[in-house]
Chain A
Amino acid sequence: MGRIEKVMSEPRTLLDKIWTDHVVCVPPGRLPLLYIDLHLVHEVTSPQAFEGLRVAGRSVRQPGHTVATVDHNVPTTPRGTPIADPIAALQVETLAKNAKQFGIRLFDMDSPDQGIVHVIGPELGFTQPGMTIVCGDSHTSTHGALGALAFGIGTSEVEHVLATQCLPQRKPKNMLIQVSGRLGHGVGAKDLALAVIRQIGTDGATGYVIEYAGELVRSLSIEGRMTLCNMSIEAGARAAMVAPDDVTFAYLEGRRFAPRGRAWDEALSRWRRSSYDPGAKYDVVVEVDASRLAPLVTWGTNPGMVVPVNGRVPDKNELKTGDAAGAARMLEYMGLEPGTPIETIPIDRVFIGSCTNSRLEDLRAAARVAKGYRVAPQVRAMVVPGSQAVKRAAEQEGLDRIFQEAGFEWRESGCSMCLGMNPDILQPGERCASTSNRNFEGRQGRGGRTHLVSPMMAAAAAIAGHFTDIRNWQFR
């Protein structure tokens, strides 16, 4: 007995705790079967999964653990007008049909709770500490900000979870990212996320679940933690997490689908056991010093190609190390000369939105920059709230007026120009300051050139017409 207690009290990583709690069984010669507490579903990666169920005559095992919304395809123009693209419309209708047939809760286009799946999950209180959460979308890592093990899956796995509420999974390895220092004025969670990717590389965390720790991470709001966890997939991570604390519990209390009354008290005591254990053993520990972090801007076509806003596009000598041919190709695609100062790069478009940066705090930060200014005449800028609830809250605070008076377009919620599945896309050659997560070739539209930045940096770029150091901004 004494020995068991000792084992039980040994410090464990958050991944280890959640993993152990969710292993249903380990069939001989097979992978452990992991139970899934919450399955988020959207219109793009689910139709083939539901069709698979129908073909095999299977049902959804736990419709109550499954939540669907439409986000990728939906237009951000005023609601009520039909989707112009017939193929997109069919996909949205198909989800509605599937949700109805299999008894799944759906937040459809006209729902007051519609939004980007990774925004509405936490917002409505579905996402909770200690849970296992999956979704057919790589940015599912976002939910780890509340101390859940949340990861993206493909459509075959979506079907698997629908049918069995389980997934055969190999246990990922543990990576601790210990962040020290303090974020300076004008530097936020987005800059920290980009700095992590710059430091460990776009495949630096492949096979790992990242647990973020350190005082700086504790000092971030839940929304900031979401931005950080969201972009961990761009470093290859299977998932990313922040152990839950009082900030997490305060965020969750009173949300519509969070536990209430006695159930809340019980949940709290359960969740507190998922706290960060100093002394737990990680396979890899990475130290990130954020004290001298500047606002960052990507210059290339992957999110690890990052420089400070007061820096330059790498010069020819710097590009010679590593994949020189690849770097040359990238610069050609981006239409940039080596050594160009970032602040001299003019932009055509600005996109403030996406599951990375479309929550209320992001919009507040951007609005504070935009207040009293006008978007540069050659720039087209749009703000796309992450959900209808974010949109309403922002409007209550008058953020919509600040944006519109400054010349930003104020849109309906959805994924929008982060991936351009709806009509919001870049034209070939257009250069965009974007708060989204991927600067891949063609991501925001064929031939489009994406630079990833924070919401404040995006708003400032819209007004200046080029990238500008937010640390020198004159707020009005």
Chain B
Amino acid sequence: MQPFRTHTGRVVPLDRANIDTDQIIPKQFLKRIERSGFGEFLFFDWRRAADGALEPSFVLNQTRSKGASVLVTGKNFGCGSSREHAVWALADFGFRAVVAPSFADIFATNCAKNGLLAVVLRQEEVREIVERSAEAPNYQLTVDLEHCRVSDDRGFSATFPIDEFTRHCLLEGLDEIGLTLEREAEIAAYEAGLAQRRT
């Protein structure tokens, strides 16, 4: 996994609450058996009209989103289906961090496994960022995982909570399966006990 330490990037504001994973990546794109190439299908039904033409009113199609890497959005982002394809699509599009007042559980876990940082800020802080980004199309944020801080170069600064293990894995880009396999002795002992209890 690609480590995440600190990242500065252009902001895309998507000011809607409860964006579900069906919107992030519609089901017709879940049939692929690869892990890559989902970026072009990100928010497909919002980005494209029924005839496939780009919707100029949708923020991801505007010049400001070119090269953007920080998505700022409403509460309960990523609710619904467990599809990790939603995270793969965001990451493949170029996003490194998503900032929101809250995330759905499975989505947040999926983010952590893919080096995409899910940053929880307070509602009013998210609103402040959305307003600032509306005023400046080139608006950028720095997301610093080492200090758990989000800031811009115009005086905005806020800290965010994250559990220590997730932070550690992201900072080091760790292979979590490898970490678990280090506990082979404990797992085997548990399984032996299990067999005993159940016979």
Residues 172-188 of A contacting B (Cβ, < 8 Å): 172
* Of the residues A165, A206, A440, contact of B187 by C-beta under 8 Å: A165
Q: Given contacts A48-B33, A326-B16, is CB(A154)–CB(B26) below 8 Å? A: no
User: Which segment, of A87-95, A289-297, A339-347, A363-371, faces chain B?
Assistant: A87-95
Contact yes or no, B187 A33, CB < 8 A? yes
Shortest A44–chain B CB gap in Å is 5
Q: Give every chain A residue within 8 A of B114 (Cβ-Cβ).
A: 156
Contact of B84 among A90, A155, A168, A172 (CB under 8 A): A155
* Residues on B with beta carbons closer than 8 Å to the beta carbon of A234: 80
- For residue B75, CB closer than 8 A to chain A, the reply is yes
Interface 9-mer from B90-98, B103-111, B129-137? B103-111
Report yes or no: A152 in contact with B164, Cβ–Cβ below 8 A: no
Please indicate the chain B residues that have their CB under 8 angstroms from the CB of A90 in the complex.
31, 33
A31 to B114, CA, bound (A): 18
Contact of A91 among B33, B82, B105 (CB under 8 A): B33
Give 1 or 0 for each of A296-326: 1 = CB within 8 Å of chain B CB.
0000001000000000000000000001001
For residue B53, CB closer than 8 A to chain A, the reply is no
CB of B83 within 8 A of CB of A24, answer no
Determine whether the beta carbon of A203 is less than 8 Å from that of B80. no
How many angstroms between the C-alpha atoms of A88 and B27 in the bound complex? 11
**Residues from 184 to 227 in A contacting B, C-beta threshold 8 Å:** 202-203, 206-207
Cβ–Cβ < 8 Å partners of A122 in chain B: none
Which of A138, A206, A440, A443 makes the CB contact (< 8 A) with B82?
A138
Kindly report which residue of chain B lies nearest to residue A137, judged by CB atoms: B82
Q: Is the beta-carbon distance between B177 and A203 smaller than 8 angstroms?
A: no
- Indicate if the CB atoms of A157 and B180 lie closer than 8 Å: no
A85-125, CB < 8 A from B: 85, 87-88, 90-91, 94
Cβ distance B194 to chain A, nearest Cβ, rounded Å:
7
Q: Return chain A residues, CB-CB under 8 Å to B32.
A: 87, 91
Contacts of A326 in B (CB 8 A): 16-17
Give B8-33 interface residues, CB cut-off 8 Å to A: 16-18, 20, 22-23, 26-28, 30-33
B17 & A31 in contact (Cβ 8 Å cutoff) = no
Interface size counted on chain A using CB atoms at 8 A:
66
**Contact yes or no, A30 B179, CB < 8 A:** yes
Nearest chain B CB to A161's CB is how many angstroms away?
10
Q: Report if B113 contacts A (CB, 8 A).
A: yes
Majority SS at the chain A contact face:
loop
Chain B positions 154 through 179: 1 when the CB is less than 8 Å from some CB of chain A, otherwise 0:
00000000011100100000001101
B99 adjacent to chain A (CB < 8 Å): no
User: Is B87 an interface residue when CB atoms closer than 8 A count as contact?
Assistant: yes
CB nearest to A35 among chain B residues: B190
Specify which chain B residues have a CB less than 8 angstroms from the CB of A443 in the assembled complex: 22, 27
> How would residues 136 to 178 of chain A score, 1 for a CB under 8 Å from any chain B CB and 0 otherwise?
1110000000000000111111011001111010101000000
CB distance from B109 to the nearest CB of A (A): 6
Query: Known: A45-B84, A440-B22, A440-B80. Is A29-B109 also a contact (CB below 8 A)?
Result: no
Say yes or no: is B54 at the interface (Cβ < 8 Å to chain A). no
Q: Given A24-B186, A48-B33, A207-B105, A157–B113 Cβ distance below 8 Å?
A: yes
Instruction: Determine if A236 is an interface residue (Cβ-Cβ < 8 Å).
Output: yes
Asked if A154 contacts B109 (CB within 8 A), the reply is yes
A443 to B20, CA, bound (A): 10
Q: Of B33, B75, B84, B113, which is within 8 A of A51 by CB?
A: B33
Q: Which of B32, B33, B35 has the most CB of A within 10 A?
A: B33
Q: Is B153 on the interface with A (CB-CB < 8 A)?
A: no
Q: List 28 A-B contacts (CB under 8 A).
A: A27-B182, A27-B183, A29-B165, A30-B165, A33-B187, A35-B190, A47-B33, A48-B33, A61-B187, A72-B30, A85-B31, A136-B84, A137-B81, A138-B81, A138-B82, A152-B82, A156-B113, A202-B18, A206-B76, A206-B105, A302-B79, A441-B23, A441-B45, A442-B23, A442-B26, A442-B45, A446-B26, A446-B45
* Additional A-B contacts beyond A56-B177, A440-B20, A441-B45 (17; CB < 8 A): A24-B186, A85-B31, A90-B31, A91-B31, A136-B84, A156-B84, A157-B109, A163-B181, A168-B176, A170-B163, A234-B80, A263-B198, A302-B79, A326-B16, A419-B27, A419-B81, A446-B26
Spell out A's residues near B (CB within 8 Å). 24-25, 27, 29-31, 33, 35, 44-45, 47-48, 51, 56, 58, 61-62, 72-73, 85, 87-88, 90-91, 94, 136-138, 152-157, 159-160, 163-166, 168, 170, 172, 202-203, 206-207, 234, 236, 238, 263, 266, 302, 323, 326, 419-421, 428, 438, 440-443, 446-447
